A and B are shown apart, each in its own frame.
Chain A
């Protein structure tokens, strides 16, 4: 078709070759750019000088109805944050609830490799995926129990661990009702989801949100009135996990089922 239009518009061969060459370069650049999206940011380089943490308030939103269980988020998180094998900063759960039956839940390798079909999947009932991540609770039990203050909440609403202060007692691991924390076997300190804070402060999205093919995950800024997340939170029926514990999770869910905790 290029050929046809080219001759019809009267472009000479040289112009056409130049155009194709540019197209190739642009294509290569674009694919590099895409790879760049999931390449790890240097975790060492933190806040840029123009980032003001008093002017942001991060919240997370998961639409379980959109999740297809591909596990790309778990893989992206692993690469971005160098998560050790057997530990998870985010994972995806699969629920299969046959009509009138017991819920079957699984999350093989945190859902990193996607999910194989289960027996009885064709029976009537419901099935869905639920991505999980640290809830970055406002009243978080994990930072409350840290004896040395190594675990803390930032002004912009992110719960972090200072690996240079953590004594590795594991109290926060026990205190988290959501199983979001683990002791890193390499550093012997507590680790958890940071909402890719090193990316947030540079104006970028988290690795899991960036990679999600169905936009089941969103991160947004409550302080920014134009952020689309605010309209969803204001107009949709939202839920949090284990609300009875009054930890005030800042990770909200759309389409959550009562079986999920």
Chain B
């Protein structure tokens, strides 16, 4: 009845309770947090070289955020009761923190978006006609003050919101790692390193996604990419991937060196069930190779032609996006490939194509943020030199 079981599994452990959707959830949330950090590098820390995509990063974070809850809802046996996590939470449950973290982070991002784009909204509301005018009028919330002082105030508020948003984004994603790390029943999950690993890999995936999206957006708009922006992102990416990978390796090394009871199970897991997704993809293809490529970009970048420079950064980004996805898979699915009897394994898990929580549903959910981003870009263009209307002199970004 069940595929490839070896050894003895507790009879209820042959089922995979957390499917592909629970792999998707931390992946998308990670992109939210990562993109937000990039936008904050400009808005809070004033990294001027990231100015071209400060607003774009925020918009991207918002679009991923809109979708972040969908995998969870699709996973729940009773999505109609999902709201109870917020309405009647059990405060002892780590999962109950979700409602508060998600809601407060959502509000912060929404507010920051409004202040960042307010001057644009006001301009569109006053220069466009018909339905568009009414639409932007609603977005402006009736505030039409486009004076220099008002815009300067917007900028100050933006900086404060972005600053509050950083710990919020870290909490939102650290919390996802905590969900796994704080389960003593599962030795593959239960480590205090888990939230930290999740956080760093989130930033990695966010930066990598922005390197790709930014270049793609520029290509679609028919303009050239800002080399300095890509170079800066690549440097940050290298730094965060080094930290992320180091933590991932350290965790395994500690487990292996301690040779505690769980190592018997985990060493088997790593060399059998997860040999491809962990060793080949998470460590080598998505870890070691982009590490070397990014080192070239960062150290030798100034000797490179733009095209080579950006291509190397893009390839690394693509591989790192794969690496983070593999890491989520290895945690979520890997943790269910062995039984809590500690003497039985499931050999493979292949999600179905058409099932409710299958591959197609995952692809559909993952496509959505990009569609949303396209729409967002049409409603509120994020790139400075591509903004509609008269060239702005508000100095707001």
Chain A residues within 8 Å of B, Cβ to Cβ = 86-88, 91, 93, 103-107, 109-110, 132, 141, 143-149, 165-171, 173-183, 187-189, 245, 261
**B353 within 8 A of partner (CB):** no
Cα A87 to Cα B14 with chains together (Å): 9
**Those of B142-201 within 8 Å (CB) of chain A:** 179, 183-186
Nearest A residue (CB) for B184:
A245
Q: Are A166 and B85 in contact (CB under 8 A)?
A: no
Instruction: Name A105's contact: one of B8, B14, B340 (CB within 8 Å).
Output: B8
Q: List 27 A-B contacts (CB under 8 A).
A: A86-B1, A86-B14, A86-B15, A93-B8, A103-B343, A105-B8, A107-B11, A141-B185, A146-B93, A147-B89, A147-B93, A148-B84, A148-B85, A149-B89, A165-B84, A166-B77, A167-B77, A167-B78, A169-B76, A170-B17, A171-B95, A174-B336, A175-B183, A179-B341, A181-B12, A182-B15, A183-B77
**B250 within 8 A of partner (CB):** no
Q: Are B11 and A110 in contact (CB under 8 A)?
A: yes
Chain B residues within 8 Å of A, Cβ to Cβ = 1, 7-8, 10-15, 17-18, 72, 75-79, 81-82, 84-85, 88-90, 92-96, 98, 179, 183-186, 335-336, 339-343
Q: Are B75 and A149 in contact (CB under 8 A)?
A: no
Q: Are B13 and A148 in contact (CB under 8 A)?
A: no
Q: Are A168 and B340 in contact (CB under 8 A)?
A: no
Q: Please give the distance in Å from A87's CB to the nearest CB on chain B.
A: 6
Q: Please give the distance in Å from B10's CB to the nearest CB on chain A.
A: 3
Nearest B residue (CB) for A190:
B77
B-side contacts of A145, CB under 8 Å? 92-95, 183
Instruction: Name A167's contact: one of B18, B82, B185 (CB within 8 Å).
Output: B82
Cα A225 to Cα B186 with chains together (Å): 38
Q: Please give the distance in Å from B342's CB to the nearest CB on chain A.
A: 6
Q: Please give the distance in Å from B333's CB to the nearest CB on chain A.
A: 12
Q: Please give the distance in Å from B53's CB to the nearest CB on chain A.
A: 36
Kindly count the residue-residue contacts between A and B in the assembled complex, taking CB atoms under 8 Å apart: 125
Task: Given A91-B11, A261-B341, verify A171-B93 contact (CB < 8 Å).
Answer: yes
Cα A183 to Cα B342 with chains together (Å): 21
B-side contacts of A179, CB under 8 Å? 10-13, 339-341
Q: Please give the distance in Å from A63's CB to the nearest CB on chain B.
A: 21
Cα A144 to Cα B93 with chains together (Å): 5
Q: Please give the distance in Å from A92's CB to the nearest CB on chain B.
A: 10
Closest 9 CB pairs of A and B: A168-B77, A188-B77, A179-B10, A147-B95, A177-B185, A149-B90, A105-B8, A170-B17, A148-B84
Q: Are B340 and A178 in contact (CB under 8 A)?
A: yes
Contacts A167-B82, A177-B185, A181-B12 known; 12 new A-B pairs at CB < 8 A: A105-B343, A107-B11, A141-B183, A141-B185, A144-B92, A147-B93, A149-B89, A167-B79, A173-B17, A180-B12, A182-B15, A245-B185
Cα A237 to Cα B12 with chains together (Å): 29
Cα A135 to Cα B336 with chains together (Å): 21
Cα A86 to Cα B5 with chains together (Å): 14
Residue of A87, A109, A169 with most partner-chain B CB within 10 A:
A169
Residue of A109, A143, A179, A245 with most partner-chain B CB within 10 A:
A179
B-side contacts of A177, CB under 8 Å? 184-185, 340
Q: Please give the distance in Å from A86's CB to the nearest CB on chain B.
A: 7
A-side contacts of B85, CB under 8 Å? 147-148, 167
Q: Are B76 and A149 in contact (CB under 8 A)?
A: no
Q: Please give the distance in Å from A164's CB to the nearest CB on chain B.
A: 9
Q: Are B341 and A174 in contact (CB under 8 A)?
A: no
Q: Are B76 and A183 in contact (CB under 8 A)?
A: no
Nearest A residue (CB) for B93:
A147
Task: Given A141-B183, A175-B183, verify A148-B12 contact (CB < 8 Å).
Answer: no
Q: Are A174 and B77 in contact (CB under 8 A)?
A: no
